[in-house]
Each structure stands twice: as C-alpha cells, then as structure tokens.
Amino acid sequence: MSALYGTYARSNLAFERGEGVRLYAQDGTEYLDFHAGVAVNALGHGDPHMVAALKAAADRVWHTANTFTIPEQERLGQRLVEHTFADACFFTNSGTEAVECAVKTARHYFWAKGQVDRYEIIAFTGSFHGRTMGMIAASGNEHYLEGFGPPLAGFVHLDPNDLAAVEQAITPNTAAILVEPVQGEGGCTEMTGDFMRGLRALCDKHGMLLILDEVQCGYGRTGKFFAHEWTGIEPDIMAVAKGIGAGFPLGACLAKGEVAKSMVPGTHGSTYGGNPLACAIGNAVLDRMLAPGFFEQVDHVGQRLKWHLQQLAQRFPHQVLELRGRGLLAGIRIAAPVKEVVARLRDEQHMLAMTANENVLRLLPPLVVTEADIEEAMAKLAAVFEQIEAEKATA
Ligand SMILES: *Cc1c(COP(=O)(O)O)cnc(C)c1O
C-alpha cells in the first residue's frame, strides 16, 4: 500500500538511470523515451552540460528569497527578453503558476487602468492550463472541475479555430484571449496560422491582450523557440515551463513592458520561483538551445517524424485515423483504445509514449532525438498495430 495520494494511475515501472532518449529500469531493461516526462526532458537524460551546471550550482547559494537580487535570475530574464517579444519575466516553479501569473497580469493591467469590470477571458475547449483552482476554471474541462466547488468566474470557452465564434463572444468585459498554439493534453490540436493572426487582430481591434500558454508547445518543441513564431504574430503575455528547466522545476510568465508595469511590489510573489539553483539550470538549458542550429535541427527531425508517421498511416489506414500536432509534439488519433496502445508500447516494446484526449497517442521525444531513434519508434508502433490487426483477424 503506497503512502501517496491515489491521484495517478501509476505503472509499477521505476527508472534508475537515463542517457539521451533512453531510460533504464531498476532491472536494467532499456526503454525508448518518447514521453520525456511530459515534454519536460527537452535535452534528454544525463546531458553532460546540464549535469555539470547542476553540480556547479550545488556549490553556490541554493536559495535566497526574491527580496534579494538573484544574479542567475537576472541573467535568465535578460536572455529570455532578448530572444522573445517580451520585456519582463516572472519566474515560477511550474506551468500552472506561470499561466496563473499570466491571467493575474492581464486582469491587473485593466484594473490599474480603471477598467475594473474587464476581467473576462476567452479560452478554448480541449485546453489544459493546469490544476490550481484558477487554472481548472481556465481550462474548463468538466472532469477536472467536478467536485471542487464553484469555479473561479470569468472564463468563457469556445471551440478552437472558430474565429467568428470568438468575435461574437467579445463583450466590453473581455480582457484577454488565452490559447495554446498547439494543444498538448487536449489532443494535440494545432491552431491554424489564420486563426492565430485573427486572434491577434481581434485583440488589437478591441484593446484586449493575447495570452499564449506555451508551457508544452514552447521551448523548441515545434522546431522554433516558441510555437507562435510559425504564425508571424506576437502575444502580449506568454506562459512557459516544461522544457525551460529540462527536468528542474521552473516556469516563467513573460510579458510586454506596458502590460507588466502594473505588477508592482505586493501584487504577486513566489517563495521559490526563480531561485539561484533553478535559474542556473534555466541558463544551462539556454546555453544548449540557443547554440547555432539547435532549433533548425529540431525542425528537421520533426519533419522527418511527420514523414515517418505519414508512412505509418498509409501502412495502417484502419489504425491511424488522423495525424495532429507539430514538430516533436506529435499526435496520432488512433482506432484502438489509446491507453491500451500506450501500455502495449511500454510493456511489450519498451517504448514510452503518452495519451492525449480524443483517443490521441502523443509522442513527445526529447528534442535531441535522432532520425534513427524515430525509425526505431516507428518499428515499435508498427509491431503493436500489426498485433492488434492480427488479433482482430482471428477474433
Ligand atoms: C503541463 C501544462 C500546464 C501545467 O504545468 P504544470 O507544470 O503541471 O503545473 C499548463 N499548460 C500546459 C499547456 C501544459 O501542458
């Protein structure tokens, strides 16, 4: 009997060691990791630069509260500002807190301008923004809201990629639009470029703020630093996490200066957020990701993954129903129950993959994955699909 909450349907599998895209279980069995701790292990396991950075940081000050200057945090913020639309950052410990900060920043921006009723946020069905009371309301998923009392008010949910519906839903109280450019957990649905540009135009027209949740699709996963870079638009606020610490708990809310300026002393805070240890790791991640050619390589390998998935879809037209996502956030809507396929991949093929809603199999390999790794993964997927078809034929 475990001493832990029963909130996860855990497998008994425990890992001891990792190297690149490989994980090794306690009994030594090797697993191909196309799960990456839910898109967190962006640089794979045991990256020597990351290990050295953590060891060096352990010899310095681990933690000082944000009442003092934290040089590693200043540096990480400066680098993020230099490489994005943003002018200012707030560091958190998680993705949920990063989106929470984004929502607070948007609401406070209008409050400070005297528009106190302007707090409504348009969000989308199939989205996932985290698990705090605020973020289950932002996500709007009934399963996550049920049983937890009245949800936080002020969120409206619409279908993704329906710009006319968004335009109709805007009221004088609408403060912002909150969207994942590529949904993760919801089923890997990508927002179209036209939809994203349309949202930006509506925000400009109505003086609203565009908030992007790039917690999963950002930090290189789609083949650019941030997924919105594919669409040519910029947000006003953006939440990031997952890959930002490559396994160390860290997140950030990035904003334009004009938008962030009402967040004065006392308006928000975090004890751990952006502590020296976390930011040393965040800087080491950027050393690797901002090196010339890193994102180009992710883009290249992401396109190879797509090509291989198209081959798989042609070979198994009754198993692969639809390909979704972008880059190394790939979704395969399949015919067989996705939980069963994930279990077979794990137990029979020793490959780790994820589920997403709408019966989508989600592939999230570390960004350092090679085409050879992808070919190996495709062979494992094919073996599972073949087995399912053979069982169907004899049934
Ligand atoms: C994972 C995720 C979150 C929540 O992040 P946590 O680190 O689990 O708090 C929020 N938004 C998106 C898009 C995510 O994928």
Residue 69 CA to residue 101 CA, distance in Å, equals 20
Q: Which of 35, 92, 99 is the best mutation target for the ligand 1 pocket, counting ligand atoms within 8 Å of the beta carbon and taking the most?
A: 99
Confidence band for 368, pLDDT divided at 50, 70 and 90: very high
The residue type found at 121 is I
Is there a common fold for 15-47+292-394 and 49-289? no
pLDDT digits (tens, 9 = 90+) for 126-178: 999 999 999 999 999 999 999 999 999 999 999 999 999 999 999 999 999 99
Q: Is the CB of 98 under 6 A from ligand 1?
A: no
Note the pLDDT of residue 387.
97
Residue 354 has pLDDT above 80, yes or no: yes
pLDDT-derived band at 115 (thresholds 50, 70, 90) equals very high
**Cα–ligand 1 centroid distance for 243 (angstroms):** 11
Please give the number of the atom of ligand 1 that sits closest to the Cα of 96.
Answer: 9
Q: Is the pLDDT of residue 43 over 80?
A: yes
The pLDDT of residue 4: 96
* Percent of the chain residues topping a pLDDT of 90: 98
Beta strand 237-240 with 251-255 is: antiparallel
State which ligand 1 atom lies nearest to the alpha carbon of 38.
1
- Could you give the angle at the alpha carbon of 184 between the alpha carbons of 201 and 96, nearest 5°? 85
Does pTM surpass 0.85?
Answer: yes
Report which residue type is found at 295. Answer: F
Residue 350 CA, ligand 1 centroid: distance in Å: 26
Q: How many C-alpha atoms does 256 have within 13 Å on its Cβ side? A: 12
Q: Which residues pair with 239 in a beta bridge?
A: 213, 253
- Phi first, then psi, for residue 274 (nearest 5°) are 75, 30
Candidate from 91, 128, 240 with most ligand 1 atoms within 8 A of CB, to mutate? 128
pLDDT average, residue stretch 100-127: 98
Residue range 49-289, CATH number: 3.40.640.10
Residue 395: its pLDDT value, please? 78
Instruction: Tell me which DSSP letter residue 262 carries.
Output: T
Half-sphere exposure of 324 (CA within 13 A, CB side): 25
How many Cα atoms occupy the beta-carbon half-sphere of 87 within 13 Å?
Answer: 7
What CATH class has 15-47+292-394? alpha beta
Q: Is the CB of 213 under 6 A from ligand 1?
A: yes
- The band of 92, judged by pLDDT with boundaries at 50, 70 and 90, is very high
| Distance of CA 114 from the midpoint of ligand 1 (Å) | 31
Predicted confidence band at 350 (pLDDT cuts at 50, 70, 90)? very high
Listed range (5-14, 120-129, 226-235) with the worst mean pLDDT: 5-14
CA dist 368 and 20 (Å) reads 7
**In 3-state terms, what secondary structure has residue 88?**
strand
Q: How far apart are CA 251 and CA 170, in angstroms?
A: 30
pLDDT tens figures, 22-41: 999 999 999 999 999 999 99
Domain boundaries, the chain: 15-47+292-394, 49-289
Residue with the smallest CA separation from ligand 1 atom 11 is 129
Instruction: Kindly give the number of the ligand 1 atom that is closest to the alpha carbon of 216.
Output: 15
3-state secondary structure of 252: strand
Distance 369 CA to ligand 1 centre (A): 22
Q: For residue 355, how far is its CA from the centre of ligand 1 (angstroms)? A: 15
Check pLDDT > 90 for residue 214.
yes
Q: Is the pLDDT reported for residue 1 higher than 80?
A: no
DSSP string, 195-234: HHHHHHHHHHHHTPEEEEE-TTTTTTTTSSSSGGGGTT--
| pLDDT averaged over every residue in the chain | 97
Cα dihedral value 162, 169, 227, 261, nearest 10: 170
Find out whether the beta carbon of 129 lies less than 6 Å from any atom of ligand 1: yes
Contact 383, 58 (CB under 8 A): no
Q: How far apart are CA 315 and CA 349, in angstroms?
A: 19
User: Does the beta carbon of 184 lie inside 6 Å of ligand 1?
Assistant: yes
Answer whether residue 274 shows pLDDT above 80.
Answer: yes
CB 334 within 8 A of CB 321: yes
- For the residues 359-387, what does the mean pLDDT come to? 98
CA distance 84 to 148: 37
Distance 186 CA to ligand 1 centre (A): 12
